[in-house]
Structure 1
Amino acid sequence: MNQRVKAAVTVGSGHVEIQEFDMPTLGKGAAICKILMAGVCGTDKHTYSGETVQYKGTPDEFSIPFPIIQGHELAMEIVAIDEEGAQNLSFDGDYLKVGDRVTICPDVVCGKCWFCKNMPSYPWCEKAQFHYGHNRSTTFDKKLYGGFSQYMYIEPGARLYKIPDGLPNDLACFTEVMCVTYTLEKAREFSSFDLEGFNFGDTVVIQGSGPLGIAHIAMARMLGAGKIIA
């Protein structure tokens, strides 16, 4: 692909510029995706506002490496992929091809530590590789590692998920947001024990009704809650 790519680059807190980059060359086991729609996470807002330390107090703590392309709540279309990427980039084992719509887990984990093998959620990975839209600067290798861009480069080890045909892009962008509501699913699991978790029809209290609070309200309804208090 011999073309230039435009991206909104956060060059520092409170400062965003539109910059152009060369379209990267496709590497082994990788893919290049066209961004169809990108959501704005609270984390993106915090970074722009000057709160630039993430995962503070954990082994994965890091500071935002400006300049950076932010954005990780995404609906994308694959425009280039090699055979190895087609076979391995889908978390669900789907064979991926050009034209497929996909979304992504923004966190690329090691897949080898105890936590990766025993707890399938990313926050506990001891050797996280990187986080799309968070800690790969535009000075790094393929440069396009965030969704506030026309295209994004997908590294081997990333986890892509095919978007169902009936799901529009503006809703597919909420995939990563709704993943945060897994805490409700864990609470639901505890209903196998007396007086723990919640059962069908139970009252659920959600503190805060901002974007993530609203997502939890939606998930509580989907899981069968009765009265929902926010």
Structure 2
Amino acid sequence: MKALTWRGINSLEVETIDDPAILNGHDVIVKVELTVTCGSDLHLLGGYIPTMRAGDVLGHEFVGEVVEVGSSVSKHQIGDRVVVCSFIACGNCWFCKHELYSLCDNGNNNDAIPETLWGYAPGGCFGYSHAMGGWTGSHAEYIRVPYADVGAFKVPDGVSSQRALFASDSAPTGWMGADLGGVQPGDVVAVWGAGAVGQMAARAAVLLGAERVVVIDRYQYRLDQVQTHIEADTLDYTRTSVLAELKEMTGGRGPDVCIEAVGMEAHSTGPDYLYDQVKQQLRLQTDRPTAVREAIMACRKGGSVFVLGVFGGLVDKFPLGAVMNNGLTLRSAQQHGQRYVPMLLERMAADELKTEHLATHIMPLDEGPKGYDIFKNKKDNCVRTVFRP
């Protein structure tokens, strides 16, 4: 089958690899209909996640048709249209029983790598380096889905595949940020990043009853999407002081919940950006935490900061004093998607959650390297590139 593979830093190639096969009774094989790029994939492309190997297949957000079913699968049959959670979870370990699915003890077969990096091993993720299990990704014609009764969900007939696609990762990730960030009716919520995950976090905050939601970014086309499709306010951080604006909006108190949806390659207009970029390139730190710092400094006393952006290791100049002295609650996680996907599909069916606008560029998998170039470099107002294998 054809697949889009990582060949080295900023190098991708469409090549022929072996078709997947059922290896366990709980597996299904899915024929991929749509698979989408993600901002976290750019960390892999740029070499910021060091556990990639030439030939690894990228991609972790996808929707498709079940074409083969393992003997122990009970919830799926051939012909089902399914969306699959990007994180792989067994459903039976202690963490899965507590709905901490991305921390599954059985979803990652490469424990030694993440235990060395982070102390413990999170669960596995499709197409996201050998630190996350070395699983084959979804930028391919077919994919093996382990623990299919836990991680694959039948798409309702009234929901298009293009809408359901974002229930694989972007929508549950964003919803988790608002949910575990503690958004309550009447809150003011600030979201850093107007990409797909940031937009989904903002929409979740709106649906959870926030009185005001503000999304911060520098790309006007993404801010336009927020205003049109998410029904939230926007700030362009290149044109104003975000901290001053947020204080003014809240009568000097600050947002109740701040959600960071940018990650390890954050940009800013201040001198801290150059500082962070130099230290990252010299490997004196692994990540640029500009947006995290600002979210912490913006949050009201006693408020909540949730970090959705992907980070791989160590950061510098972290404002721990602000966290402690202002009584902040700081949380983060890879997405516990199995907790949210059924509810999100219901909201999609009810037209409460619309995601089609995120798929700004749709193209064949053969154009995968071009699609990533458009996505990475924000060409042609690209929010997400979607591939049709």
Does the pair score TM above 0.5?
A: yes
Match of 1:39 among 36, 40, 43: 36
Residue equivalent to 2:67: 79
Match of 1:186 among 175, 180, 185: 180
Equivalent pair of 2:31/2:65 in contact (CA under 8 Å): yes
Residue equivalent to 2:100: 121
Structure whose alpha-carbon radius of gyration is higher = 2
Pairs within 5 Å for 1:102-117: 102-109=82-89, 111=91, 113-117=93-97
1:11 and 2:7 correspond: yes
Match of 2:159 among 161, 167, 178: 167
Give the superposition deviation at 1:111.
4.9
1:208 and 2:205 correspond: no
Q: TM-score, normalised by structure 1?
A: 0.74
Residues 93-114 of structure 1, C-alpha deviations (whole Å, 9 max, x = no match)? xx21111111112222455554
Residue equivalent to 2:49: 52
Give the superposition deviation at 1:121.
2.2
When residues 15 and 223 of structure 1 are mapped into structure 2, their CA distance, relative to the original with a 3 A threshold, is same
Q: Which runs of 5+ in 1 are unaligned?
A: 54-62, 88-94, 189-196
Structure 2: distance between partners of 1:126 and 1:99: 30
Structure 2: distance between partners of 1:111 and 1:65: 29
When residues 226 and 81 of structure 1 are mapped into structure 2, their CA distance, relative to the original with a 3 A threshold, is same
Equivalent pair of 2:89/2:147 in contact (CA under 8 Å): no
When residues 162 and 125 of structure 1 are mapped into structure 2, their CA distance, relative to the original with a 3 A threshold, is same
Residue equivalent to 1:191: none
Match of 2:17 among 17, 21, 25: 21
Residues 137-179 of structure 1, C-alpha deviations (whole Å, 9 max, x = no match)? 9xx8xxx821111111123466211111111111111111111
Structure 1: distance between partners of 2:76 and 2:192: 40
1:198 and 2:184 correspond: yes
When residues 6 and 124 of structure 1 are mapped into structure 2, their CA distance, relative to the original with a 3 A threshold, is closer
1:177 and 2:170 correspond: yes
Equivalent pair of 1:68/1:136 in contact (CA under 8 Å): no
Structure 1: distance between partners of 2:106 and 2:147: 16
Equivalent pair of 2:24/2:70 in contact (CA under 8 Å): yes
Q: Which runs of 5+ in 2 are unaligned?
A: 109-123, 216-389
Q: CA RMSD in A?
A: 2.5
Instruction: Among all aligned residue pairs of Structure 1 and Structure 2, give the percentage whose two residues are the same amino acid.
Output: 27
Q: Which amino acid aligns with 1:168?
A: S
Residues 105-131 of structure 1, C-alpha deviations (whole Å, 9 max, x = no match)? 22224555543333x123434554232
Structure 2: distance between partners of 1:184 and 1:25: 38
Q: Which has the higher contact order (CA 8 A, sep 6+)?
A: 1
Partner of 1:45, secondary structure, is: helix
Structure 1: distance between partners of 2:154 and 2:130: 24
When residues 117 and 19 of structure 1 are mapped into structure 2, their CA distance, relative to the original with a 3 A threshold, is same
Equivalent pair of 1:136/1:145 in contact (CA under 8 Å): no
- Out of 22-31 and 64-73, give the one that drifted further: 22-31
More helix by share: 2
